Amino acid sequence: MNMTDRERFLATMHYQPRDRAPIVDFGFWWETIIEWHKQGLPDSVTYESYDSTQTDAFFGMDTYTGGVSGSPWLVPTFEEKVLEDRGDHEVVMQANGVIVQRKKFMGSIPEHLGHTLVDRASWEEHYKWRFDPTNPDRYPKDWNAARKIWNDPTYPRVHLCNGGSFYGWIRDWMGVEAVSYLVYDDPVLLEEMVDTMTECKLAMLEKLFANGARYDACALWEDMCYNSGPLLAPEHFKRILVPQIKRFTTLLRRHGCDVIWVDCDGKIDDLIPLWLDAGVNCMFPIEVGTWGADPVKFRKQYGKQLLLMGGFDKHILARSKADIEKEVRRLAPLVEEGGYIPMPDHRVPPDVPFDNYLFYLETARKIWAKDTNLKPLCMHSSKPS
């Protein structure tokens, strides 16, 4: 059998027979693509936002996203604009209302300089009204075209719902320190923010489902952990977030969507049981970090109830080819078991040599996918040195 990306994803996540394991990636820093152009990547392959359309095609990747979703985000967003040029840095008002300083090149996490959201008054003036679920800009511009995709049994990509965030966005808008104080200084405001976003998501989903939407999976984003654990204590997570997340996941499952992942960096160990209680059953990207997160360990700890995506230490890609092959083989039994889609544990950074990445990809295709029903690689073969 030769499966589509969607069929392969669903079979993998439900521990069913499949033609092979999915071969996917989380993506690349845009600086990585620029560096790789100097190392042999054709100039015609460029970085295209988070969809990575060109790179997916060039590297023969499967996809784990697709379909038509609504937007749980700020609608409308703030106007994004450069406020000040500081040579190799620039000060920017972001679309989320946060003022940051960021590098023009080789930058990762920008430095927060100021926040529009600082208290109840600024919440009501600048943010709360942006979660109006009746705003038509949240929804497909062409409902008939959307329904055609949702109802097409041969649609080859995963129908993915954008679930947004319950805490991570607030942490971004206020900053870690301010939202941490808010838990104690004004918990009612924090709970109102979470409730407002949840109500918007639920109303949005109800309208989408009423118009024929179907979803195979849902993606949440939180980034609420660091190298020692969560930014929000588990007791507060359980009290404030779990009930709201459960409302959301219950609605999804009622309409047939039973793969719900959360994208959270950092040491997530203390929050996994709470996410599972709330109906979130897949962890992504399982950032290895200095704390040694490991998908093999998580499978032993939680069994097949916990689905997994990621967990290949991206730093290994900058080491030797022997190290790369060793890690591919270490993860192979878990890949074979199912319920796990391997990929580097974050976007591939520019210190990874292009040739190393090609070797990783060829090795993964051979060992994880057994060279079966693969998409063509649009590059010269890389051989071990």
Same domain, 44 and 91: no
Give percent above pLDDT 70 in the chain: 96
- Pair (85, 224) in one structural domain: no
CB hemisphere CA count around 207 (13 angstroms): 18
Q: What is the CATH number of the domain that holds 196?
A: 3.20.20.210
Determine the distance from the C-alpha atom of residue 130 to the mean position of all C-alpha atoms in its chain, rounded to a whole number: 23
| Cα of 229 vs its chain's centroid, Å | 19
The domain boundary residue, chosen from 58, 88, 115: 115
Task: List, for residues 274-299, the tens digit of each pLDDT value.
Answer: 999 999 999 999 999 999 999 999 99
pTM of the model: 0.94
Q: What is the pLDDT of residue 49?
A: 47
Q: Residues 204-209: what's their mean pLDDT?
A: 98
Same domain (yes/no): 251, 301: yes
Q: In 80-167, which residue ranges form alpha helices assigned H by DSSP?
A: 120-122, 143-150
What does the pLDDT read at residue 52?
Answer: 61
C-beta neighbour count of 134 within 10 angstroms: 10
Residues 17 and 144 in one domain: yes
Query: Are 189 and 302 in a shared domain?
Result: yes
The string of pLDDT tens digits covering residues 93-105 is 999 999 999 887 7
Higher pLDDT among residues 312 and 381, named by residue: 312
Q: How many domains does one find in the chain? A: 2
Asked if residue 273 and residue 172 are part of one domain, the reply reads yes
Predicted confidence (pLDDT) at residue 384 exceeds the cutoff of 80 = no
Mean per-residue pLDDT of the chain: 94
Q: Return the pLDDT at 54.
A: 75
| 38-47, 207-216, 353-362: least confident range | 38-47
Element (H, E) at 83: strand 81-86
